């Protein structure tokens, strides 16, 4: 059978490209099949742009934040009730949140598989051809990385969905999928450029090294992770911004700290904005006040700055009583019925005539601070001569930006605690915390989340959606 391909007026939304303004006025192209679509470099580029497009529905926060000790569901008590099942680990296979994420991720994978299979057959510039396939492989790897860290064993689909054998695929072990992730990223590294002067937002070589390092760290392959980080650092492209809060303002998608993330465009006619600010904003701004930060998260900020002030990352990350909010307003704890706090990242000043959902605040999936903390963790876990001081060097770069004194950790155990605490504070509400707790093991996870987690070695996973169980004949 031929898989139908639908082209949209704008094919890049999730990682909108600054050079794609012309797409905004492009008419609908109609219906194609895999046999008659992949015939030109232009169509190949649009097909890969469509993979980026599929990342736009970003619900990773429900798993990364709400399932962690950093946040609870928030919002109106009866709204989006299925999120409660993620929040308290009671979600069954019929949970709508699980199904939505699964369908979205496999849509990305399906689009990537089509591009990977069909672009090599087009007569076109070889460098562009290889690059586009490399982008598709990165995006496939990114999707599988998130899926296995939510669901564990899943179907590994690597071919276009044009036969029963490609559609009905049995579960693969997590280790097998990690092997494929590393293969895809190795292929991507070989062909991706370090930058796109005219098309900011596309996947780069640095992004592939970064995701490789993260995948290796999650597997406790610390030496390999450090090698990937070294390759990224050798590109001499990335650094920390001077001001932490600048990461969460319009334009931060082009910062020296950004490695891979989602870009957004303010456009009144087509929904291209970051709607996370609607999900997280207070009702007085037309928001739904979900993803409410916990007191436990606030209490993690025990260290004062060298001038005895609160860690600036706290108020850059969340709104709390009496502190500055947006449009020269002051935050009120009454805006968050659940905890008294709301997420500040992804929010910005409201502009007259511009919909709240048209925010241009980027989402940073991987940024350089994350890399520095991964590097510190890998060094510390490997141990050996000078491991503590070497790990401290990386941690202190993060602490210095927050105006905190250098760490005083002197043992592997105390350094491990420092690194984990810094990850929580530095990367709060960037959807990492739950996955960190899972990879750090049962003792750490249960200490943070309680024994209701129902840990099942090697870790807790959410159930595969019922829709997949019902339609995938290989699972029946």
Q: What per-residue confidence (pLDDT) applies to 244?
A: 98
Can you give the pLDDT at residue 222? 98
Closest listed residue to residue 169, CA positions, set 100, 106, 121: 106
Instruction: Report the SS3 class of residue 365.
Output: strand
pLDDT at 105: 97
Closest CA to 252 of 363, 372, 402, 327: 363
SS3 171: strand
CA of residue 3 relative to chain centroid, distance:
29
Predicted local confidence at residue 3, as pLDDT? 42
> What average pLDDT does the segment 357-382 reach?
95
Quickly tell me which residue has 């001038």 as its tokens.
307
Task: Express each pLDDT in 13-40 by its tens digit.
Answer: 333 333 333 433 444 455 666 678 999 9
Percent of the chain with pLDDT over 70: 92
Residue 175, C-beta contacts closer than 8 angstroms, at least 6 positions apart = none
Instruction: Give the pLDDT score at 359.
Output: 86
Separation CA 147–CA 476 (nearest Å): 20
Q: Average pLDDT of 197-212?
A: 95
Distance CA 204, CA 235 (A): 11
Whether the per-residue pLDDT at 12 is higher than 60: the answer is: no
pLDDT attached to residue 23: 36
Name the nearest CA neighbour of 38 among 50, 26, 28: 50
pTM here is 0.93
Name the nearest CA neighbour of 432 among 19, 48, 149.
149
Residue 59's H or E segment, with its range, is none
148 pLDDT more than 60: yes
The pLDDT mean for the chain works out to 92
What is residue 31's predicted lDDT score, i.e. its pLDDT?
64
Q: How far apart are CA 142 and CA 135, in angstroms?
A: 11
Q: What pLDDT does 107 receive?
A: 97
Q: How many CB atoms lie within 10 A of CB 369?
A: 26
Please give the backbone phi and psi of residue 325, each rounded to the nearest 5 degrees, phi first.
-110, -135
Summarize pLDDT for 90-105 with one digit per residue, the tens. 999 999 999 999 999 9
pLDDT beyond 80 at 312: yes
- Mean pLDDT value of segment 161-180: 97
- pLDDT class for 266, splitting at 50, 70, 90? confident
CA distances 11 to 8, 49, 84, Å, are: 6, 5, 33
DSSP designation for 105: H
What are the angstrom distances between the C-alpha of 392 and each of 47, 238, 389? 44, 19, 5
The pLDDT of residue 343 is above 70: yes
Backbone angles phi, psi at 284, to 5 degrees: -65, -15
Q: Residue 441, preceding bond cis, omega within 30 degrees?
A: no
Q: Extract the tokens encoding 428.
A: 């709060």
pLDDT exceeds 60 at position 10: no
Is the distance from CB of 169 to CB of 468 less than 8 angstroms?
no
**Burial readout 234-263 (b: 16 or more C-beta within 10 A, e: otherwise):** eeeebebbeebeebbeeebbebebbbbbbb
For residues 437-456, average pLDDT = 95
CB–CB of 273/282 below 8 Å? no
CA distance linking residue 57 with residue 47, whole number of Å: 18
Q: Which two tokens stand for residue 476?
A: 């029946």
E-strand ranges in 258-301 read 258-262, 290-293
First-to-last CA distance in the chain? 23
- CB-based contacts of 30, cutoff 8 Å, min separation 6: 7
């Amino acid at each position: 059978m031929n898989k139908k391909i639908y082209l949209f007026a704008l094919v890049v939304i999730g990682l909108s490209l600054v050079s794609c303004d012309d797409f905004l006025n492009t008419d609908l192209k109609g219906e194609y099949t895999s046999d008659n679509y992949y015939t030109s470099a232009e169509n190949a580029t649009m097909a890969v742009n469509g993979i980026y497009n599929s990342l736009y529905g970003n619900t990773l926060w429900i798993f990364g934040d709400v399932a962690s000790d950093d946040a609870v569901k928030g919002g109106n008590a009866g709204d989006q009730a299925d999120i409660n099942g993620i929040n308290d680990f009671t979600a069954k296979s019929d949970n709508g949140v699980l199904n939505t994420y699964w369908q979205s991720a496999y849509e990305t994978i399906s689009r990537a598989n089509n591009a990977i299979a069909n672009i090599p057959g087009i007569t076109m510039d070889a460098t562009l051809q290889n690059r586009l396939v490399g982008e598709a492989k990165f995006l496939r790897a990114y999707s599988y990385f998130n899926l296995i860290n939510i669901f564990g064993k899943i179907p590994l689909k690597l071919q276009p969905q044009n036969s029963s054998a490609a559609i009905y695929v049995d579960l693969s072990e997590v280790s097998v999928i990690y092997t494929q992730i590393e293969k895809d990223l190795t292929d991507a590294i070989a062909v991706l450029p370090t930058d796109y002067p005219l098309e900011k937002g596309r996947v780069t070589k640095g992004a592939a090294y970064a995701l490789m390092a993260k995948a290796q760290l999650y597997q406790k392959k610390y030496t390999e992770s450090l090698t990937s980080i070294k390759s990224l650092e050798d590109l001499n492209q990335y650094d920390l911004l001077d001001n932490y809060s600048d990461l969460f303002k319009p334009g931060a998608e082009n910062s020296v700290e950004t490695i891979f993330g989602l870009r957004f465009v303010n456009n009144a006619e087509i929904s291209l904005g970051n709607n996370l600010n609607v999900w997280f904003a207070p009702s007085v701004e037309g928001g739904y006040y979900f993803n409410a930060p916990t007191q436990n998260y606030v209490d993690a900020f025990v260290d004062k700055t060298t001038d005895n002030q609160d860690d600036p990352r706290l108020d850059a990350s969340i709104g709390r009583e009496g502190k500055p909010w947006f449009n020269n307003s002051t935050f009120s704890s009454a805006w968050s019925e659940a905890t008294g706090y709301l997420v500040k990242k992804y929010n910005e000043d409201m502009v007259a005539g511009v919909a709240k959902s048209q925010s241009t605040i980027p989402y940073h999936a991987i940024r350089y601070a994350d890399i520095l903390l991964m590097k510190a963790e890998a060094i510390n876990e490997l141990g050996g001569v000078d491991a503590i001081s070497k790990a401290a060097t990386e941690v202190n770069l993060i602490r210095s930006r927050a105006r905190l004194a250098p760490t005083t950790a002197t043992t592997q155990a105390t350094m491990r605690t420092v690194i984990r605490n810094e990850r929580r504070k530095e990367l709060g509400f960037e959807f990492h915390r739950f996955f960190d707790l899972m990879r750090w093991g049962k003792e750490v996870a249960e200490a943070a989340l309680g024994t209701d987690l129902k840990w099942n070695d090697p870790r807790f996973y959410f159930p595969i959606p019922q829709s997949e169980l019902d339609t995938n004949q290989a699972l029946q």
